[in-house]
A and B are shown apart, each in its own frame.
Chain A
């Protein structure tokens, strides 16, 4: 006899209880109890919480808690195939983009890639100081033979951050224009932001094969897209109401208002979001090396797995250098936008 027998007997459910057995495997505690045999008098002190397992002891038909996780797993596996049919073609371009960019950046000779990147830095910052700093960093990384890894990491960040911006800004605009959409989107963003990054790797591993690059691509995008959405929404909502009123008073259509007033005035905030998105992609690209993302993260992982202290530290330092470069360059371009936008 178990503690909660009285519940089932008072409800007249004994018949239902004995009719079937929960098919979950027996728990360790149950096994031990069975091995010991015999009834033990229970004091109030040992009263178990009426959990699924405790109720199962009284009534064999009542499911055990491990059946919950098992059921979830089976349910997921059951829909997995049909989900893949839909998701695979949609996400396939991501694999192509990642593989293509990785291939291009790694196989193009260093004496083309580095100058092109420096030209890009000059184009967005218009500052020789930044170009010089980035040049020194790349030369340093290349000199210690981390060039290929650094380029792989950069290639993944470029693709993922670009897609985050491409998807995130329209979502943010939609949120700014509709309160309903904002109410529906914010819980999803909160969840994406609080979920530990390892957690979304779990379903992704089941859905896609670990050899496909879209697996880590999706993980990075899900993790990094949040700030650009939030700040686009915030930026547009913060646009000076007087200016919006003036736009209305001069007869702007909603579309004109969006492109001529709201987006230009929200640009500093949107760019701050892009900066955060890039930094978060960098953070995730390291974790994503667990699921075969190439780059500096692989070396960090090697440092941990085979206790190669030097490799781990140097590649960690390489990530810091990339982070500083990306941060400085995006902030410098943000400052350039801000300079033309003083109120």
Chain B
């Protein structure tokens, strides 16, 4: 599938403080975040961000709290105005929009899901789900069918007339997702959408999102501080630290070739076998006379392969996509890929 950028962010800066423009000059001359805070009393939230968000993909922006990820996502629908930089939606410049154009963008082309759900407590689940259409001037009876369809799709049929406080957290966030889907916007912004949920429900919601995405092919920007979550969801992973993008690209690739000690720290804890997929370790088919122990899909994760091979490192598998061979997998390569990247020295010192 060709990748086309739906939204592109170019050299975006955001500085919080009384005179951000003046502070921007210092930043461009190379002043760092801490110095800027001490000397100028301005907070450098985002520094020179360049990210392309591809059409029909899930772009995950990952970083710890304070890394500027929530600030970044709010620039996309201009809930926060940038200090400098460009944001293009297709071939339009979002920053040149006037109030009415911005409202149309928010109503029809970008929907948003929030960490704390942000449902209207005085409206029923049905009315909440239809909020985007209600804002556009439709009456409840006009959007009832549409809202019911999506509420059913996220597993909430029969709860239409309850109030949000009568639902559990997971169910409230399902309403939040249904609300974003009812707006029928091509872009969905998800700000730590699953962070407030407990782990099991979170995993369910991730599956739900992937299932919906398989069908709807929306452009999704997903913010999270959880590496497992980002590896599970991401087509494109952007890692933010202190307002700077330190690495972005295919998540498998980041996992195999981390370019920063910060990322190495992050990935040293995860279960590599579950995250890495066959396509990341397979090689070109070498010769025809190899006897394959079996077939694998390129999207299978290594954990599946391990249990299939019963730990035998001498085997070679054939990798197929759409019934055609695209490569082969040597169990030796697989074992090598599973060797953990050591956490950096600093981190080891902390834990001692």
Chain A, range 63-79, C-beta contacts under 8 Å to B: none
- Chain A residues in 8 Å Cβ range of B183: 250
CB of A194 closer than 8 Å to a CB of B = no
Q: Given A251-B103, A340-B163 in contact, is the A246-B121 Cβ separation under 8 Å?
A: no
How long is the Cα–Cα vector from A243 to B183 in the complex, in angstroms? 17
| Stretch from B39-47, B108-116, B323-331 contacting the other chain | B108-116
| CB nearest to B117 among chain A residues | A242
- B107 with A250: CB separation less than 8 A: yes
Whether B118 sits at the interface, judged by CB under 8 Å, is yes
A250: B residues at CB distance < 8 A: 106-107, 111-112, 131-132, 135, 179, 183
**Contact assessment for A249 and B79 in the assembled complex, using a CB-CB cutoff below 8 Å:** yes
Taken residue by residue from 99 to 138, chain B's Cβ proximity to chain A (1 for < 8 Å, 0 otherwise) reads as: 0001111111011101111111110000000011011000
Alpha-carbon distance A252/B163, docked complex (angstroms): 21
Per the bound structure, the CA–CA distance linking A272 and B108 in Å amounts to 38
Q: Which residue of B lies closest to A248 (CB)?
A: B79
Contact at B107–A251, with CB atoms within 8 Å? yes
Interface residue A245 (Cβ < 8 Å from any Cβ of B)? yes
- Expressed in whole angstroms, the Cα–Cα distance for A340 and B165 within the complex equals 9
Near B by CB (< 8 A), chain A positions 230-262 give 240, 242-243, 245-246, 248-253, 256, 260-261
Interface centre among B102, B104, B108, B116 (most CB of A within 10 A): B116
Residue numbers in B under 8 Å from A245 (CB-CB): 79, 114, 118
Q: Mark B63-106, 1 if CB is under 8 A from A, else 0.
A: 00000000000000101000000000000000000000011111
Q: How far is the CA of A261 from the CA of B183 in the complex (A)?
A: 18
CB-based contact B131/A242 at 8 Å = no
Q: Are A252 and B135 in contact (CB under 8 A)?
A: yes
Task: Assess whether A108 is interfacial by the CB under 8 Å rule.
Answer: no
Min C-beta distance of A140 to chain B, whole Å: 38
Cβ of A264 under 8 Å from chain B: yes
Partner of B106, one of A240, A243, A249, A340: A249
Q: Is A36's CB within 8 Å of the partner chain B?
A: no
Any B CB within 8 A of the CB of A343: yes
Chain B interface mostly: mixed
| Chain B residues numbered 159-207 whose CB sits less than 8 Å from any CB in chain A | 163, 165, 179, 183, 189
Cβ of B122 and Cβ of A249 under 8 Å apart? no
Partner of B77, one of A249, A265, A341, A342: A249
**Bound CA span A340–B122, Å:** 6
Q: Does the CB pair A341–B116 fall under 8 Å?
A: no
- Contact check, B135 vs A256: say whether CB atoms are below 8 A apart: yes
Q: Report how far A246 CA is from B183 CA in the complex, Å.
A: 13
Q: Which residues of chain B have C-beta atoms less than 8 A from A264's C-beta?
A: 120, 122
Chain B residues with Cβ below 8 Å from A240 are 118
Question: In the docked arrangement, what's the CA distance between A240 and B118, Å?
Answer: 8
> Of residues A260, A264, A265, A267, which shows the largest number of chain B Cβ atoms within 10 Å of its Cβ?
A260
Q: Would A341 and B122 count as touching, CB distance under 8 A?
A: yes
**Whole-angstrom distance between the alpha carbons of A341 and B117 in the complex?**
15
B103 contacts which chain A residues (CB < 8 A)? 251, 253
Main SS class of interface, A: helix
A252 vs B112: C-alpha distance in the bound complex, in angstroms?
A: 13
**A123 CB to nearest B CB, Å:** 20
The residue in B114, B119, B120 that gathers the most chain A C-beta atoms within 10 A of its C-beta is B120
In whole Å, how far is A52's beta carbon from the nearest beta carbon of chain B?
A: 47
> Scoring B residues 272 to 310 as 1 if CB is less than 8 Å from chain A, else 0, what string do you get?
000000000000000000000000000000000000000
Within the complex, which residue of A246, A252, A256 is in contact with B114, where a contact is CB–CB below 8 Å?
Answer: A246
B135 touches A251 (CB 8 A): yes
- Out of B110, B122, B189, name the residue touching A265 (CB < 8 Å): B122
A10-39 interface (Cβ within 8 A of B): none
Q: Which residues of A contact B117 (CB under 8 A)?
A: 242
Q: For A341, what are the chain B residues with a Cβ–Cβ distance below 8 Å?
A: 121-122
What is the bound-complex CA distance between A103 and B279, given in angstroms? 89
Separation of A242 and B114 alpha carbons in the complex (Å): 8
CA of A260 to CA of B119, assembled, Å: 12
Q: Are B116 and A242 in contact (CB under 8 A)?
A: yes
Closest residue of chain A to B132 (Cβ to Cβ) is A250
In this complex, the member of B104, B108, B112, B189 whose beta carbon has the largest number of chain A beta carbons within 10 angstroms is B112
**Contact yes or no, A343 B106, CB < 8 A:** no
A203 to chain B, nearest CB (A): 43
Q: How far is the CA of A243 from the CA of B172 in the complex (A)?
A: 14
Q: Taking the nearest CB of chain B, how far is it from the CB of A32, in angstroms?
A: 65
Chain B residues contacting A248 (CB-CB under 8 Å) are: 79, 106
B122 A243 Cβ-Cβ under 8 A:
no
Contact (A343, B118) CB under 8 Å given A246-B112, A250-B183, A251-B107: no
Which chain A residues (286-343) contact chain B, with CB distance < 8 Å? 340-343
Q: Is the CB of A261 within 8 A of B79?
A: no
Listed residue (A242, A246, A252, A342) with the most chain B CB atoms within 10 angstroms of its CB: A246
Please name all residues of chain A whose beta carbon is closer than 8 Å to the beta carbon of B163 when the two chains form the complex: 340, 342
Cross-chain contact of B118 among A242, A256, A342 (Cβ < 8 A): A242
- Given that A245-B79, A246-B112 are known contacts, is A251 also in contact with B106, CB under 8 Å in the complex? yes
Complex Cα distance, B79 from A243, in Å, reads 13
Q: What's the minimum C-beta distance from B171 to chain A, rounded to whole angstroms?
A: 15
How far does the alpha carbon of A46 sit from the alpha carbon of B245 in the complex, in Å? 80
Q: Report chain B residues within 8 Å CB of A252.
A: 135
A267 to B, closest residue via Cβ: B122
Instruction: Name the 9 nearest CB pairs between A and B, nearest first.
Output: A251-B106, A251-B107, A246-B118, A342-B165, A249-B112, A242-B118, A251-B103, A264-B122, A242-B116
- Can you list 11 A-B contacts with CB-CB less than 8 angstroms, sorted by A residue number? A242-B115, A243-B120, A246-B112, A249-B79, A249-B111, A250-B131, A250-B183, A251-B104, A267-B122, A340-B163, A343-B121
**5 additional contacts (CB under 8 A) given A246-B131, A251-B103, A256-B135:** A246-B118, A249-B110, A249-B111, A340-B163, A341-B121
